[in-house]
Amino acid sequence: MSLAEWSLFIGVLLVSMVLTGTLLGRLPLSSAMIYLALGWLLGPDGTNVLRPDPVRQARVLEWLAEAALLISLFSVGLQLGVPLRDRRWRLPLRLAFVSMAAMVAMVTAIGVWLLDLPLGAAVLLGAILAPTDPVLASGVHSDPGADPDRLGFSLAGEGGLNDGAAYPFVMLGFGLLGLHELGPGFVRWWSVDLVWATVGGLAIGGVLGTATGQLVVYLRSRHDEAVGLDEFLGLGLVGMAYGIAQLSLASGFLAVFAAGLALRRVRERPQQDTEPLTVAAGLGSHSYQTRATHSHHASATMRDSVQGFNEQLEKLAELTLVLVVGAMLAYARPLPVVWWFVPLLLLVLRPLSVMVATVGEGLNAPQRAMIGWFGIRGIGSVFYLLLALRHGIDGRVADVLVSLTLWSVAASIVAHGLTAQPLMHHYVGWRRRRRAKSKTDP
């Protein structure tokens, strides 16, 4: 296709999504399902417009998936307003690390015993399929803020953390396959790839997000400087956090997520003898310049502006990546193992891993069942698959990884997209009935 033809196609696609957005919102379908089907129609199995070969074009596709993942992780971090010392963080942390490890272990066992994969390839398969997707699971997230519903907050927090938490297991798989240095007695793996990558990534992102946000708020509220270009601020913070973390051998994904968390928590710097802006007509009645430089509102204005831009960017990233995944399905051989592995992954392994991670958390049956079901696979799995292919995984192992990963992601998008609305409607109704009963009980 020529540049003019691509321009026309992309323009029609974007405008069509705007015009049909309200209608699609009333259907029991997620936007990702529409993108996936459209991607398949545009791929080699359809009109052959898109030909994203995951083996030949692994590097370019990996960059695309990586960029989309960074945007989504930063956006999720900006949305989570629960204080970091709040005990509600225990559940997403346990889901991101304990459930992650349990999932990798179970998939590894299946890979070795039932799929006849080498141990390293089985570990790699588990690490690729373990992360959940915070963007594709947005239909079950609660409203952002300091007091969200526990279900939505836990799924969002898990999705923000576990893409970085999967990194050590990916490196372990590479090491067992001879593609990465693990060190004597695995000392390099557990000290650098596991401990430092996790702790260092979170620390780097947290420090950068806090320092950058405080500097901007100070300059705006005290000197009327550094006003505007909040879009550059968000993208620049993502770039700095990811770049410094990766150059330091820490997890860039955790750094970007932590940077979003930290930026949200930058406090206002109210000056003495000043009053907040009047809100009778809403803060929106005041100009951006007024709000951005007011010492009572500079931080909130910065955060809201960065978040608004990043959420729109996130929607474009979702559209692009899911379209590509739909087109890539033509390159995923429909191996016989797909028919039993994918249901096993979604219906058995995910709930089991959640049961392991949620012991002692006081969850009731509906909450545990919902968390166990909504472990949506998405961009993180696609990124780590492409990373594996770029590292030289080929032959039968590559065929198995490509087939199981892409069909798992596609099945997850469809199954969870169809069930998100009815299940969430049922869950919200159950929650309301429970609250009403608790108020009437003596």
What are the sequence ranges of the domains in the chain? 31-271+284-431
Q: Which of 10-19, 168-177, 301-310, 311-320 has the highest mean pLDDT?
A: 168-177
| 147: phi then psi, degrees, rounded to nearest 5 | -135, 65
Q: What is the C-alpha separation between 333 and 54, in angstroms, rounded?
A: 12
The pLDDT value recorded for residue 293 is: 85
**How many angstroms separate the Cα of 243 from the Cα of each of 31, 188, 201?**
31, 21, 11
The pLDDT value recorded for residue 297 is: 84
CATH for 31-271+284-431? 1.20.1530.20
The pLDDT value recorded for residue 262 is: 95
Go through the chain and tell me how many residues it has: 442
The pLDDT value recorded for residue 174 is: 97
Q: Which tens digit of pLDDT belongs to each residue from 49-58?
A: 889 999 999 9
> Which pLDDT band, with edges at 50, 70 and 90, does 440 fall under?
low
> Which pLDDT band, with edges at 50, 70 and 90, does 22 fall under?
confident
Q: Which tens digit of pLDDT belongs to each residue from 155-197?
A: 989 999 999 999 999 999 999 999 999 999 999 999 999 999 9
Residues facing residue 145 across a β-bridge: 80
Residues facing residue 230 across a β-bridge: none
Residue 47: how many CB atoms within 10 A of its CB? 9
Q: What is the C-alpha separation between 263 and 216, in angstroms, rounded?
A: 11
The pLDDT value recorded for residue 344 is: 97
Query: Taking residues 4-29, what's their average pLDDT?
Result: 75
> Which pLDDT band, with edges at 50, 70 and 90, does 130 fall under?
very high
Please give the structure tokens belonging to residue 19.
Answer: 């015009």
Query: Taking residues 260-284, what's their average pLDDT?
Result: 78
Question: What's the angle, vertex CA 300, arms to CA 299 and CA 301, rounded to 5?
Answer: 90
Q: Which tens digit of pLDDT belongs to each residue from 381-432?
A: 999 999 999 999 999 999 999 999 999 999 999 998 888 888 888 877 777 7
DSSP string, 328-378: HGGGS---TTHHHHHHHIIIIIHHHHHHHHTTTS---HHHHHHHHH-----
Tell me if 405 sits within 8 A of 129, measured CB to CB.
yes
| 23: phi then psi, degrees, rounded to nearest 5 | -65, -45
Percentage of the chain modeled with pLDDT above 70: 93
Provide the 3-class DSSP secondary structure of residue 249: coil
